[in-house]
Amino acid sequence: LDSNHDGDWADGFTCVDEAGQNKEVVEHILIDYPVDVAALGAGLQTLNNIATERVGWPAQGADAARWVRFTLSEEPSNKPLNYSGIVYGDGRGYATPFRTGETEDYLWVLEGAQANGPDVALQLQGQIVPAQGGHEVRLKFDYANVGTVAINGATLTLSKNVLNVESIIRSVQGPGLHEGDVSVNGDKIVVNLPALAPNGSSSVAMRLGLPASPVRSAAANDAYTVTAQIDLAGDINLRNNRASTALILPRGPLRLAAGVEGDNLPRKADTTCRDELQLQGRGEPFADVDIYVNDVNNVRIQPDADGRITDLRVTNLPTGRSQIWLNYTGTTARPGQVPPRQAVRLVVDDSLPVDPISLLLIDSQGRQFHPNTLGWTNGGDQIDQWPLQEGETYTIQIDVCVGDPNLRMRYELENVFVSSLYDDDGDGTYVGSFVYNRPAQAAAATSVDAGDTVELIVESGGVERRFAAEAVPMTQGTIHNGVDSQRVAAAQVSALVGNGDGFSAIGSTESSAPDAQQTGADGGYGFQVADGTYRLQVEANGYQPYRSGDITVDNGVLATDINLSPAIAAVANH
């Protein structure tokens, strides 16, 4: 038993017993008491009538709790100490561990007149999670009265600064807490706790908001320790009213997309005739990030101060199908295990006369779109889709990979010639235009989503190559009034992309378009995005805010019909 509260069982004392005689004692009640396990038999057994020694009991801290250690071992204890002829140990074993046994520590809280006080014990759990516009710290304080007298007037205190950034109190909840029980004193958050009877327990849940940019610049390390304590007048044990927890700052989600010179559209699943690729992405500022080609670590980079990955080019790519992906240094993953947002799928085929990854469609409003081209290579196992708007005029352009002055190129829809493509300025980019009008039989089909076969046909060196895809009618979402189904104009529609721990506004790795649109008189909207998981958020005057569930995009278009509920002006009455 730790008589003098110094954290060990190694001390000896000369005390005066009831008869007024000096007596040497150590911090051991019992040393090497033999237990005949075989004689006890199976089941729970009680050891009775064990003679124990006395221990020292200094006047200072006489009414405070003490740590008691019990050890059950296969052989006598290690006894390296000697006090006035008493041979004993310090509570530790030998250098060579026991083969069997058990050591347990208990905090002995005094009862009765000697204790005569409350004893508040505190435990703390916490985490940092992504939140809109930054991060949120979520803390849970579990506290109990392990003393013999009720707790009254206790206060919970912790720093308002987390990761060296001043936090914003979003909520503090717990049984018995009332308005006014939470206050700020300088840089401290103070919570006045309700009364708590002996053997009672309770909890406080707290949410603290952290802005994104200051946290990014202040977080020098991944982990940060938050410490809290409960102050209580008359607490008989001050060792258990303080607790800490390590908060792990989640790294920013990694994103990766390919790009080409001349536009800023993201590429996620494409074919190319070249053995090099230009990449862009996002990640935690200044964190080490490894770039892989299949399972080979190609290069290590760091995102800039804004978390951007730019001007990155991988070269000497192997022929055939590959996956280019990125991951934080020190984390383990395989090519097939990384989320789609962290990878680009690519086929390199140097026999192609054109470079499919450069394909670009531009509508009459100047909006650019790049459809996936992963299915263009020989032996492709998929058909790529081109979402097109019925009646819309498009410019189509693509770069060539060969220096053939006699190369000819044309575009066909359902085996009907639509347009030729020409390189009038000799820069290696062939350009044409067409109006997307669905064939009569396709327009009359039962399914409005039935696709039309489109082909880009290239003749070079006496060889004709056909590259097929499927044109599908462009999907447009509509915002409606959920009561009368009227279309809602001037609604703000925002696109959010899944990033593992939450959702945030789409960026350049998902779309070249802004992350928000405003509906016109027809209530329509639509986002052209890379394949992935998204959500939509809608706000409109006179309506309640709306956020969708997860939406999986595999055709390049994020759009769905949404019904808004009118705002309720009346005060809730139940």
Tens of pLDDT along 59-101?
Answer: 887 777 788 888 988 889 999 999 999 999 888 888 888 888 8
DSSP class of residue 541 equals: T
Classify the C-alpha dihedral 416-418-422-428 as positive or negative.
negative
Do the beta carbons of residue 337 and residue 234 sit within 8 Å? no
Q: Report which residue type is found at 537.
A: Q
Distance CA 178, CA 191 (A): 10
- Angle 383-388-389 from CA coordinates, rounded to 5°: 160
Strands (E), 153-241: 155-159, 161-162, 165-166, 168-173, 182-185, 188-192, 201-211, 223-231
Q: Report which residue type is found at 569.
A: A
Class of domain 477-564: mainly beta
**47 band by pLDDT with thresholds 50, 70 and 90:** confident
Q: Sort strands 551-553 and 452-460 into parallel, antiparallel or unpaired.
A: unpaired
- Angle 57-58-64 from CA coordinates, rounded to 5°: 80
Q: Which residue has the tokens 């709306």?
A: 546
Domain with CATH 2.60.40.1530 in the chain: 120-248
**46 band by pLDDT with thresholds 50, 70 and 90:** confident
Q: Sort strands 81-83 and 557-558 into parallel, antiparallel or unpaired.
A: unpaired
* 267-276, 374-383, 559-568: the lowest-pLDDT one: 374-383
Element holding 454 (H helix, E strand)? strand 452-460
Q: Report which residue type is found at 40.
A: L
Residue 436, both tokens: 């997307």
pLDDT per residue as tens digits for the range 105-142: 887 766 654 457 899 999 999 998 877 667 889 999 99
pLDDT per residue as tens digits for the range 158-209: 999 887 788 999 999 999 999 899 999 999 999 999 999 998 999 999 999 9
Domain with CATH 2.60.40.10 in the chain: 255-348, 354-473, 477-564
Q: Could you give the percent of the chain with pLDDT greater than 90? A: 46
Residue 446 reports pLDDT greater than 50? no
CATH superfamily of domain region 354-473: Immunoglobulins (2.60.40.10)
Phi, psi of 212 (to 5 degrees): -70, -55
pLDDT per residue as tens digits for the range 282-323: 888 888 999 999 988 879 999 988 888 988 999 999 999 999
Distance CA 31, CA 187 (A): 51
What are the residues whose beta carbons fall under 8 Å from the beta carbon of 414, sequence distance 6 or more?
Answer: 439, 442, 452, 453
**509 band by pLDDT with thresholds 50, 70 and 90:** confident
Burial bucket for residue 492 (CB in 10 Å: 0-12, 13-18, 19+): middle
Other C-beta atoms closer than 10 Å to the C-beta of 495 total 26
* Three-state secondary structure readout of 409-430: EEEEECCEEEEEEECCCCCCEE
Q: Is 498 helix (H, G, I), strand (E, B) or coil?
A: strand
pLDDT per residue as tens digits for the range 530-545: 878 899 999 999 999 9
- What CATH code would you report for 120-248? 2.60.40.1530
Tell which CATH architecture fits domain 255-348.
Sandwich (2.60)
Distance CA 567, CA 373 (A): 45
pLDDT given for residue 18 in this prediction: 81
Distance CA 574, CA 565 (A): 19
Classify the C-alpha dihedral 332-337-343-344 as positive or negative.
positive
CA dihedral 365, 371, 377, 381 (to 10 degrees): -150
How high is the mean pLDDT of the chain? 86
Residue 447 reports pLDDT greater than 70? no
Distance CA 58, CA 172 (A): 42
Residue 309, both tokens: 């990955």
pLDDT per residue as tens digits for the range 321-372: 999 999 998 887 777 778 888 999 999 999 999 999 999 999 888 878 888 8
Strand partners, 312: 279
Widest CA span in the chain: 120
Closest CA to 525 of 446, 534, 516: 516
Strand partners, 103: 71
